[in-house]
Amino acid sequence: IHFFSEVDKMIELVKDKFKEECGVFGIFSPEIEEVTSITYYGLYALQHRGQESAGIAVADGSCIRCEKGMGLVSEAFDKDKLAALQGNAAIGHVRYSTAGSSNIINAQPLVMESKYGEIAMAHNGNCTNAEVIRDLLEDGGHTFNTSNDSEVILSLISRGARRGIEQAAFEALQAIKGSFALVILTKDKLIGVRDTYGIRPLSIGKYKDSYILTSESCALDTIGAEFVRDVKPGEIVVIDKEGLRSINKNEKT
């Protein structure tokens, strides 16, 4: 019975892969650089994964700024919006929705305050137990502003952030069911998370001294970056001024 239950679960995850895509991109540079323009062109390369909305969040070591818009990447951003985003780390998102209505409120990245500080997140995938987690958080007094799975995941991470962002991401990975790839941005870290089954793609690249996370390696080709490897199923990669390190849920359990 357990075997067939696992097979059914995998079939549902594979079906889900063809229902929704979305694209995520992230970059961390040791020094202040034009990470915004790199993220813009990275999203441009991922445009085929979502045409509904686009967004970029940038961290400068002290705070996070975010700009979003409906439509294509070229429609969502102009020179003024891009110029307002300065820092050394960024995440971006292009959205193709199946969960959550089509409006600017559901556009990503999402930004949330926590005891750790501001956290931004861009998400590709579906959380199959999102409603259960949403109900539990609402019972605890949490209020949601969007109708998508992404806010549920970010709220879960934010709630546990008092124990540190890396521990919060690890605990969230244990709680979330489904197929997903996440890029998470704090004031001084870039984090990538891939679901336990590895259904959603997430790759690691290198551009000069900067590390990149992206849904597809075509974004690396566009900006002239080197492909390093894919994030492993169940793996969390943490990128900061010390470099890149890995936490793997599948190896810990």
Q: Annotated active-site positions, please?
A: 22
Residue 168: alpha-carbon gap to chain centroid: 15
Whether the CB-CB separation of 87 and 59 falls below 8 Å is answered with yes
